[in-house]
């Protein structure tokens, strides 16, 4: 019985996607349309196809019927969803629910009869969605609240307190929650006045400073040039959108290529631009608060957030096989994303319990299960991916190239 299977993966054409980044990464022709996310997994919204028994079939259907073949005795669904993400413009300011909130929200919307593919649907499954993002190009991110006292001084510096009295109480118990709820609930004439005031100040700061920001720069008490420029960019992409204010109260930073950040549930964030690979729990639950033409539910979003300062959490890789394997782990979520660099004549032996998906982004590799004579192995070229079943106790990769491996431990 084979235990390595080829995959074909769907691409999501969201408007914020890059028309060139994913095709260039995978060595495929561009279509001229936005290509935002390549999905590798069995999420029912966009399952991969798997080549099995000489035919291509939807992976979610195979999992339901023959999950024991791929997962062993555990479940009928992959424990993760693996993506390539290419943001030409900003994604929505958003958070993903905790497990208990996801289960409750999914049940509530099911009972209300909202179709799972409806635009107004917030909970498309009952799962939490912790995630690891590894940058392939410099990747700009808003993630986690700045300290309340810092937010208060920054907001006051741009005159935000004139329209939002919640600014004055930011450092008091519950003050951060009240401020965020108010900022994400702005609309109409009040929103227009706030944006006019903040963007006017942003123009002043941006034009008076030629200093480029550092990706490691700490929060400042006043409006810094980096935040000012980012709000101007966001306003150009999403005019009259309350999410433009995000850089005032969320940490803004650039993730360097080859580095990874972990974002747990209930953490407010927005991916502003770049190319990366993303590993997450098997979920598509997104609660949005702005920077999008999609469904926004600020009340639901603010009800699930953790209201505490949450500076970016960069993951230190664990190096194995002389640096050939760099493993980024989020232990509390069980997610493991491996960056594998193969060199000719230096095979890499991988293995252990659990199903895996591998994606080749440079060169090529040959993968074969160790000690399994009837499994002849497969060649993986750039842009191709395979699923390695739980039944493979160990396997060997040989060649010259770069692959990413997704798994849950």
- Given a cut of 50, whether residue 219 has pLDDT beyond it is no
- Given a cut of 80, whether residue 72 has pLDDT beyond it is no
**DSSP letters along 335-365, please?**
EEEEEEEEBTTB-EEEE-SS-EEEEEEEEEE
pLDDT tens column, 123-164: 988 988 999 999 999 999 999 999 999 999 999 989 898 999
CB atoms under 10 Å from CB of 323, counted, come to 9
- Residue whose C-alpha is closest to residue 268's, from 80, 97, 84, 83: 97
DSSP 31: -
Look at residue 372 in the predicted model and tell me its pLDDT.
63
pLDDT tens column, 164-195: 999 999 999 999 999 999 999 999 999 999 99
Look at residue 123 in the predicted model and tell me its pLDDT.
92
Look at residue 88 in the predicted model and tell me its pLDDT.
97
How large is the average pLDDT for residues 224-240? 95
Tokens at residue 181, please? 């709820």
Orientation angle between helical segments 188-208 and 225-237, nearest 10 degrees: 130
Burial class (CB in 10 A: 0-12, 13-18, 19+), 187: exposed
- Given a cut of 90, whether residue 10 has pLDDT beyond it is yes
| N- to C-terminal Cα separation, the chain | 24
Catalytic residue status for 288 = yes
How large is the average pLDDT for residues 268-272? 97
Indicate which residue of 2, 201, 229, 288 is catalytic.
288
- Residue whose C-alpha is closest to residue 46's, from 8, 20, 94: 8
Percent of the chain with pLDDT strictly greater than 70: 95
pLDDT tens column, 34-57: 999 999 999 988 999 999 888 999
- Given a cut of 70, whether residue 375 has pLDDT beyond it is no
pLDDT band at 376 (very low <50, low <70, confident <90, very high): low
CB atoms under 10 Å from CB of 238, counted, come to 20
Burial class (CB in 10 A: 0-12, 13-18, 19+), 327: middle
pLDDT tens column, 286-325: 999 999 988 999 999 999 999 999 888 789 999 998 889 9
């Amino acid at each position: 019985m084979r235990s390595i299977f080829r995959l074909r993966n769907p691409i999501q054409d969201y408007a914020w996607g890059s028309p060139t980044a994913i095709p260039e990464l995978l060595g495929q022709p561009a279509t001229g349309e936005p290509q935002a996310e390549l999905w590798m997994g069995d999420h029912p919204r966009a399952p991969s196809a798997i080549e099995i028994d000489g035919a291509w079939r939807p992976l979610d259907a195979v999992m339901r019927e023959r999950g024991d073949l791929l997962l062993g005795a555990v479940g009928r669904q992959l424990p993760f969803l693996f993506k390539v993400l290419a943001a030409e413009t900003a994604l929505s300011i958003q958070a993903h629910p905790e497990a208990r909130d996801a289960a409750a929200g999914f049940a509530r919307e099911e009972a209300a009869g909202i179709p799972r593919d409806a635009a107004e649907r917030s909970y498309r499954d009952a799962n939490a969605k912790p995630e690891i993002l590894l940058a392939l190009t410099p990747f700009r991110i808003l993630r986690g609240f700045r300290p309340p006292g810092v937010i208060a001084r920054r907001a006051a510096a741009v005159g935000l307190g004139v329209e939002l009295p919640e600014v004055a109480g930011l450092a008091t118990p519950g003050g951060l929650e009240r401020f965020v709820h108010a900022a994400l609930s702005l609309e109409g004439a009040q929103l227009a006045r706030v944006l006019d005031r903040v963007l006017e100040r942003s123009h002043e700061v941006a034009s008076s400073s030629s200093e480029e920001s550092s990706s490691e720069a700490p929060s400042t008490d006043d409006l810094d040039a980096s935040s000012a420029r980012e709000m101007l960019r966001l306003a150009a992409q999403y005019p009259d959108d309350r999410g433009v204010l995000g850089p005032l109260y969320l940490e803004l930073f650039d993730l360097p290529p080859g580095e990874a950040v972990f974002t747990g549930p209930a953490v407010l964030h927005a991916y502003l631009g770049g190319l990366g690979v993303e590993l997450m729990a098997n979920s598509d639950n997104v609660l949005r608060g702005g920077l999008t033409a999609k469904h926004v539910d600020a009340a639901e979003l603010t009800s699930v957030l953790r209201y505490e300062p949450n500076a970016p959490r960069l993951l230190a890789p664990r190096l194995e096989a002389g640096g050939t394997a760099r493993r980024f782990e989020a232990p509390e979520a069980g997610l493991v994303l491996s960056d594998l660099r193969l060199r000719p004549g230096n095979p890499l032996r991988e293995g252990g319990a659990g199903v895996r998906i591998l994606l080749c982004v440079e060169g090529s590799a040959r993968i074969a299960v160790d000690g399994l004579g009837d499994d002849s192995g497969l060649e993986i070229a750039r842009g191709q991916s395979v699923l390695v079943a739980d039944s493979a106790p160990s396997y060997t990769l040989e060649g010259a190239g770069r692959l990413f491996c997704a798994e849950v431990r």
